[in-house]
Amino acid sequence: MITIVAKCTVKPEKIDEFMKIALDLVDASRGEEGNVSYDLYADLANPAKFTFIEAWKDRAAIDAHNGTPHFKGFGERAGPLFAGPLDIGLYRRVV
């Protein structure tokens, strides 16, 4: 299993728009065969900061996800809403 932690900062005036797009992505991603979990978190100290925490069965599941229309569509629609680059890490669980 591979866990992805993807942190993003949204332009303050684009938070509502981002939320709609992000919820669509979460919903569609959870439906993928290789997905274990896909959750969106909001930073308590900064309403413009969000983190996706995702768990995938394996690398192939992530590759499949990256090729889906909903993921690509998210990238196109959400891209202009971000205030900077995303901070994405792929992890294995140690304990």
Residues at the site binding a second copy, with contacts judged by CB under 8 A: 2-3, 5, 7, 19, 22-23, 26, 39-45, 49-51, 53, 89-95
The whole-angstrom distance between residue 74's C-alpha and the CA centroid of its chain comes to 9
Rounded least distance, CB 82 to a second copy, Å = 17
Strand partners, 67: none
Rounded least distance, CB 13 to a second copy, Å = 19
| Start-to-end CA span in the chain (Å) | 13
Rounded distance, CA 29 to CA 24, Å?
Answer: 8
Rounded least distance, CB 37 to a second copy, Å = 11
AA letter at 23:
L
CB-nearer residue toward a second copy: 22 or 81: 22
